[in-house]
Amino acid sequence: MFDVNLFGPMQMVHHFHDMIIRAAGTIVNIGSIGGVVPASYNASKAALHHWSNTLRLEMSPFNVKVITVSSTIFSMSSGF
C-alpha cells in the first residue's frame, strides 16, 4: 500500500519538481478520510496526508499549491 499511496506520489513530485516550480503549478494528492481515522490500511493514507502538509510548507515560497483531496465512502442513487 505504501508503494502506491505514498512512494508513488513522492517519486512523481521528485521527478517533476523543477517543472512544477517553474510553472508555479498545483500538486493534487488523492488521499482518503482513512488518513485521519485509525486502522491498519490507513497508515499509508495518513503518511500521504502528513507528507502533503509538509510539502505544502516547503513549496509555498515557490507559489506552488499542494492540495489533498480526502474522499469518504459514498453511494449514488443510480447504483454506480
Which positions are catalytic? 41, 45
> Can you spell out the DSSP letters for 14-64?
HHHHHHHHHHT-EEEEEEEGGGGS-SSTHHHHHHHHHHHHHHHHHHGGGT-
| 16, 17, 18, 42, 72 from 22: Cα distances, Å | 10, 9, 6, 33, 33
